[in-house]
A = this chain, B = another copy of it.
Amino acid sequence: MSRLLPVFGAAWLLSMTIGCAATPANSPLRGTGDLGIVIERASGSVQVVDTTRRTRLASIAGLGDLSHASAVYSRDGRYAYVFGRDGGLSKVDLLAGRIAHRIVQGGNSIGGAISQDGRLVVAQNYEPGGIKAFDADTLELLADIPSTYGTEGKRSKVVGLADLPGNRFAYALFDAGEIWVVDLADPRKPGITRFKDIGLQPYDGLVTPDGRYYLAGLFGEDGVAMIDLWRPELGTRRILDGYGRGEEKLPVYKMPHLRGWAVAGRNAYLPAIGRHEVLVVDTDTWQEVRRIAVKGQPVFVMARPDGRQVWVNFAFPDNSWVQVIDTLSGSISTSLEPGKAVLHLEFTPRGENVWISSRDDHRVAIYDTASFALLGQLPADSPSGIFFAARAARIGF
């Protein structure tokens, strides 16, 4: 993997002396609103991509174990914070095409979030269980909050971390069956609110795009635990009791990602666990209103930004397919086969295109979401997650 932007050599040294030190020699001045990264899980690298020209700008290696990696963005869109499976937290400079800073902050980690004001980056850890908050500039540790539960001092795996308005974060404790809401207005003095007995084995969580409802899917029993964060005094509520592995305990080939839940108009679309179905839920009543039959076990269920379409990918053996649901008719508009082992998809900020990673075909396919035309493909080394810089401006991403 070569870097696009050489930062050493004569040009660099010369530029130091004339005051454009911060700009590598062949880096043009450019905005960051159309940048993004593609995770290359096998090689521990990320590609920096341009969604306007649909090109690769740089490849950056040395990020450790990137299986199941995810990323959040600095407020200015310049830096991606990449959370590796091995507890690595890398601050990647998209403009300079290099790692600005990197720490190993845990032993077994599964993602993170960034505060509303962009000052705190928070990692959620399986081992040792808990969350850690870091200064977004320096990656200095500011808060270490173990997920201790019960009477024996055990620590739970943490899942479903989501940022909330007001520099707060919500997450679920898989082993404890709890949801915690942590206020990090002063990260040195975290304020923790614990919601206990929310159900068995919450395995992932999300906050609705308005930051109001936190939902944790349960693996140990049927259903979803929900908190109305505008009215936390009401505690948790159980919804969708028919949700989950249900009566038959179906084999589950790959756990769906709740972060992929789509809210389109008044309805939420979510992957059924183990079933070849997408569930449609009315977010006013939180009742299930419909099930849509799909090709396989859904993994990501993601709304185009305008909510007119919901795109779905699948677990093995249907993982070469993507299906598109028309939310007006409730039926499948089209089925596409972008490549082998489709792991993730990401819409451009206003939704005109979607980028889809095919791990085993080593490429990212780019589609027009109106015509479903294939616009282009970029080679990538076992690509998984795709994360665009416009996430910096969104709540709960």
Instruction: Identify the A interface with B (CB < 8 A).
Output: 11, 14-15, 18-20, 22-35, 51-52, 73-79, 94-96, 116-118, 165-167, 210-212, 230-231, 264-266, 284, 305-308, 328, 349-352, 370, 389-390, 392-395
Contacts and interface: CB of A to CB of B under 8 A. Distances in A.
A19 B25 contact: yes
Q: Report copies per complex.
A: 2
A12 B327 CA distance: 54
Contacts of A32: 31-33, 76-77
A94 B24 CA distance: 20
A15 B16 CA distance: 11
Given A20-B23, A27-B20, A75-B33, A265 B212 contact: yes
B389 A33 contact: yes
18 contacts: A15-B18, A22-B28, A23-B28, A27-B29, A29-B29, A29-B78, A29-B96, A30-B78, A31-B31, A31-B32, A31-B77, A31-B94, A167-B352, A212-B265, A212-B306, A349-B393, A390-B393, A393-B393
B166 A370 contact: yes
Given A28-B23, A266-B284, A75 B116 contact: no
For A73, A264, A393, the residue with the greatest tally of chain B CB atoms inside 10 Å of its CB is A393
B393 A31 contact: no
Contacts of A24: 20, 29
A116 to B, nearest CB: 5
A74 B75 CA distance: 18
Given A212-B306, A351-B165, A31 B265 contact: no
A224 to B, nearest CB: 19
A191 to B, nearest CB: 14
Nearest to A394: B350
